[in-house]
Amino acid sequence: MAALPRVLLFTGKGGVGKTTSAAATAVAAARDGIETLVMSTDAAHSLGDALDRDLGATGTGAAHRIEDHLHALQVSGNRHFDGSWDVVQAYLVDTLAALGVDPVVAEEMTSLPGAEEIAALLELREQARSGRWELIVVDCAPTAETLRLLAFPENLAWHLRRVLPGTAGMRRAARPAAAAALGIPLPGREIVEILRRWHDDMLAVRHLLASATSSVRLVTTPESVVIAESRRTWTSLSLYGYAVDAVYVNKILPAPALKEGDGAAAQWLRSWNAAQTRGIDEVVQSFVGVPVVRSPYLEREPIGPAALAELHGQLDLGTLAGRDITKPATAEPMQVRRTDAGFDLALRLPLTSAKEVGLQRRADELLLTVGDHRRIVTLPSVLSRCTVADARVRSGHLTIAFVPDPAQWPR
């Protein structure tokens, strides 16, 4: 199998410059000779606008050639689903409702990603394993949708394991009775086949996104409200096991030297300069250890590859400068270490205090909640035969201590 390409996902609040930053990064990489695909998971279809090209949904998933080493793709929902999503979604909603055992399920029912978003994930996976690209830059939808989308593979796979016949968690013979007991509508054969394929596809997507070659770049503007959202996003992404390897602070206004008596416009600019400087400081202090990229507010919208390349040339890349963009830059978001007493599972969970974290153990699964977000960590066999002895949040890590459960270890 071909090595995984580097995958960079750009997300952030609406209008901050996700599409622009993603496209500028892709153009610059391509002009460095890196075989690059830039694709969008945002139904807003603005990638084509930024590149000044009609990426007209061809329905075939074919990427459009933009220039040497650069292709772009706007995903259309049709290719992967042919309308099957409606059927499956209706079934899932019934199933999840009937499963009512889990309090977060209700939330998921109302927040299933749309067909187009899921199609984008599947497309990403296909492109990643095509072996065609060294770098795939993904222009994502605004934060909330992106988080829902990134959590989806793991969550869906978890539910499917419980309703699909013949998969782990529910043995074939036990399934109809167990399903009936839970009031789950039994899926028809057609749906079983679709769900089974999805289960495998979603695990593959999850594997790709959580691997060390993939990371998220958060785009923000130097304004308190936007920065606050970026901070929350960072925690949520870490909870799901996704690494953030840069924060882009976009739309930084120029700060020319101003004199007394320069007039109202100059005063206005001066006051924004001061606020933006505070904002940039806040970003640097909030994202300890994460490279911060500073991006100027240009005189006009950077539209088209030439303008995007020019914007990229004006970025202050900070500690990213000179780094090979195709090489992963972050440490594993989750680590398991041996200790005297057993094992420690450490999860990067920045900006979180212990009281925001909920921890629930269910057989070989840990349910972690931070605020509104939930993550299911499926424990490797060695940890599933342990009990949780302790959990603590310290210096940006949640560390869960496991000790072997004597009853579950051969003597």
Binding site for Mg ion (CB under 5 A): 18-19, 46
Residue 22 CB, nearest approach to ligand ADP (Å): 8
Residue 147 CB, nearest approach to ligand ADP (Å): 15
Residue 299 CB, nearest approach to ligand ADP (Å): 8
388: exposed, middle or buried (Cβ count in 10 Å: 0-12, 13-18, 19+): middle
Q: How far is CA 175 from CA 69, 163, 180, 298, 380, in A?
A: 50, 8, 8, 60, 24
- Among 80, 251, 294, 374, interactor with ligand ADP by CB under 6 A: 251
Is position 272 an interface residue for ligand ADP (rule: CB under 6 A)? no
* Cα radius of gyration (the chain): 23
Residue 15 CB, nearest approach to Mg ion (Å): 8
Within 8 A by CB and 6+ apart from 144, the residues are: none
Return d(Cα 107, Cα 130) in angstroms, integer: 35
For ligand ADP, the closer of residues 91 and 248 by Cβ is 248
Return d(Cα 277, Cα 197) in angstroms, integer: 50
Is position 19 an interface residue for ligand ADP (rule: CB under 6 A)? yes
Out of Mg ion, ligand ADP, none, what residue 251 binds, judged by CB under 5 to 8 A for its kind, is ligand ADP
Out of ligand ADP, Mg ion, none, what residue 279 binds, judged by CB under 5 to 8 A for its kind, is none
**Residue at 308: amino acid letter:** L
- Among 284, 297, 320, 378, interactor with ligand ADP by CB under 6 A: 297
Partners of 278 in beta bridges = none
Is position 230 an interface residue for ligand ADP (rule: CB under 6 A)? no
Out of ligand ADP, Mg ion, none, what residue 14 binds, judged by CB under 5 to 8 A for its kind, is ligand ADP
Binding mask of the shown chain, residues 302 to 321, with x at each position contacting ligand ADP by CB under 6 A = x--------x----------
Is position 295 an interface residue for ligand ADP (rule: CB under 6 A)? yes
For ligand ADP, the closer of residues 19 and 127 by Cβ is 19
Strand 365-370 vs strand 373-378: parallel, antiparallel, or unpaired?
antiparallel
Quote the tokens at residue 231.
Answer: 């901070």
Partners of 264 in beta bridges = none
For ligand ADP, the closer of residues 6 and 312 by Cβ is 312
Return d(Cα 98, Cα 306) in angstroms, integer: 54
For ligand ADP, the closer of residues 81 and 297 by Cβ is 297
Is position 390 an interface residue for ligand ADP (rule: CB under 6 A)? no
For ligand ADP, the closer of residues 46 and 369 by Cβ is 46
Partners of 73 in beta bridges = 39
Return d(Cα 298, Cα 183) in angstroms, integer: 58
Within 8 A by CB and 6+ apart from 349, the residues are: 235, 238, 239, 357, 370, 393, 396, 397, 398
Return d(Cα 38, Cα 85) in angstroms, integer: 25
**Residue at 343: amino acid letter:** F
Is position 183 an interface residue for ligand ADP (rule: CB under 6 A)? no
Residue 117 CB, nearest approach to Mg ion (Å): 14
Out of ligand ADP, Mg ion, none, what residue 61 binds, judged by CB under 5 to 8 A for its kind, is none
Is position 254 an interface residue for ligand ADP (rule: CB under 6 A)? no
Quote the tokens at residue 205.
Answer: 């997507």
Size of the site for ligand ADP (CB under 6 A): 17
Task: Find the binding residues for ligand ADP in span 25-84 (CB under 6 A).
Answer: 46
Is position 16 an interface residue for ligand ADP (rule: CB under 6 A)? yes
Distance of CA 43 to the CA centre of its chain: 16
Helix (H, G, I), strand (E, B) or coil at 197: helix
For ligand ADP, the closer of residues 213 and 295 by Cβ is 295
For Mg ion, the closer of residues 74 and 352 by Cβ is 74
Helix (H, G, I), strand (E, B) or coil at 176: helix
- Among 25, 146, 250, 286, interactor with ligand ADP by CB under 6 A: 250
